Structure 1
Amino acid sequence: MTVSTTLPDPPAAPVTLDRRDGPYGEVVLRRRGEVLEIIANGCFLMDTSDGRSERLLVDAALAALPADRCAPAVLIGGLGVGFSLVQAAREPRWGRITVVEREQAVVDWHRSGPLAEISGRALADPRTEVAHADLLDRLRAAEGEFDALCLDIDNGPEWTVTDGNAGLYSPAGLAVCRTALTPGGVLAVWSARPSEKFEQALRNAGFAGVRTEEIAVARGVPDVVHLALRPPLDAA
């Protein structure tokens, strides 16, 4: 028997497609083989290799809403590589789909760059609106506007891309999220790892039905989606 000594090909080296300096630091789009990656301030943010957890972010939020809620409005915090937007646009039950993205570079990569292959049809959906804005600023102007908030702007509440993002997960930031929801609306937050501390912060902020759904990954702890509801009788 002949034993092969051929070694597997080494992983492809990343190729930088675009690099921008913006008000929140550096953002980079690069390609590694067939995979596109977004890097923010030197921190890996997300890539196009899978997307299961980004899709679950949207599906879990919709499943948590009453089935008879008509054309619910969803806000997606962070355009990223587009998986969450695409999943929302595939679902006819969603009404208005608002995507908030603070990095103009990311919007450009979707509108006229390499990420357009993923999100082009979803961006053309008449229900879709893309807002180039800071997420907290947009939420502060959204009292009772959305039935669901699907937030994926960091690697998690305890692993933020920039220090300023921590305000979103603070008591004041979570109060803004709650107020932006309709009564009975759902907050869904993506994270690269579970956080009991964040679950308690959600309860302390007046959310109900707090739970965490896990998504298995190839190595390490699972990705998760934290889910919480604005109580139906909450008038805050």
Structure 2
Amino acid sequence: MTTALPERNGDDAVVTLDRREGPYGEAVLRQRGQHYEIIVNGCFLMDTVDGRSERLLIQAALDELERTGGGAERPSVLIGGLGVGFSLAYAAAEPRWGRIAVVERESAIIDWHRGGPLGAFSGGALGDERVAVLHTDLLEYLAAEDGERFDALCLDIDNGPDWTVTDSNDGLYGADGLAALWRRLRPGGVLAVWSAQPSSAFEEALRAAGFADVVTHEIPVSRGVPDVVHLARRVAD
């Protein structure tokens, strides 16, 4: 990793720890005081300040599986996006989960967990025998024929349905993307989607795609609109 001279922003110095050019653009890891930030293509993606919504993403899916009796005795979960590791660490700390797969397309982010400072936030989850890191693009993974099906899909991709940093991610939240997600869920399975803001249009898209029990959980933030987790269920066949 390379270290640049700190930039002054408010009370904290901002230090660029690593900057990578990859197939999807530029990924940057910065440190601001005691916290870390991921910047993709010049846009802030996430930081380590508050992981409540990322943890809710996992907990809400598990609660819904237990409420409806869907899924296996030890359900499997696919996490879309490794990010700063909050969702993966929370899932790995829960013994009720069986297989835990996490899809991450940015090799830089995987490296920042395996040998960099973000490993403290994924909490050693990469060493859990239930955990598999799939280094691929989520849309490509979903498009594969006869792919693995899961009891829960927990997606934290980009900034959510209404504001994507990478144009190609728009397809995940449209009709084709939702159809692909439907196919990767077992009957009775749960889809949980993190978003930086509520989206009534996405709720309607979920219903139009055949999902049931569509609800939105809000998580207040210190400034601006709340983070949310959109929750939906694939009805049993």
For the residues of structure 2 that align with 1:23 and 1:33, how far apart are their CA atoms?
Answer: 30
Deviation at 1:66, TM superposition (A): 3.0
Bigger shift: residues 141-150 or 68-77: 141-150
Match of 1:128 in 2: 131
Sequence identity (%): 67
SS in 1 for 2:164: coil
From the CA coordinates, give the structure whose radius of gyration is larger: 1
Deviation at 1:171, TM superposition (A): 0.1
For the residues of structure 1 that align with 2:74 and 2:213, how far apart are their CA atoms?
Answer: 22
Deviation at 1:121, TM superposition (A): 1.5
The 1:25/1:10 distance shift into structure 2, 3 A limit, reads closer
Give 1:1-236 correspondences, 5 Å limit: 10-66=10-66, 69-141=72-144, 143=147, 145-233=149-237
The runs of 5 or more residues in structure 1 that have no matched partner are 1-8
**Contact 1:111 1:120 (C-alpha < 8 Å) held by counterparts:** no
For the residues of structure 2 that align with 1:76 and 1:92, how far apart are their CA atoms?
Answer: 16
For the residues of structure 2 that align with 1:63 and 1:120, how far apart are their CA atoms?
Answer: 22
Deviation at 1:144, TM superposition (A): 6.0
Corresponding residue pairs, total: 225
TM-score of the aligned structures, taking structure 1 as reference length: 0.92
For the residues of structure 2 that align with 1:189 and 1:165, how far apart are their CA atoms?
Answer: 13
For the residues of structure 2 that align with 1:70 and 1:144, how far apart are their CA atoms?
Answer: 18
For the residues of structure 1 that align with 2:95 and 2:195, how far apart are their CA atoms?
Answer: 26
SS in 2 for 1:26: strand
For the residues of structure 2 that align with 1:170 and 1:178, how far apart are their CA atoms?
Answer: 12
Deviation at 1:13, TM superposition (A): 2.6
Q: Please list the CA deviations of residues 207-235 of structure 1 after superposition, one character each: whole Å capped at 9, or x if unmatched.
A: 111110011111111110000101112xx
**Contact 1:140 1:180 (C-alpha < 8 Å) held by counterparts:** no
The runs of 5 or more residues in structure 2 that have no matched partner are 1-8
**Contact 1:143 1:181 (C-alpha < 8 Å) held by counterparts:** no
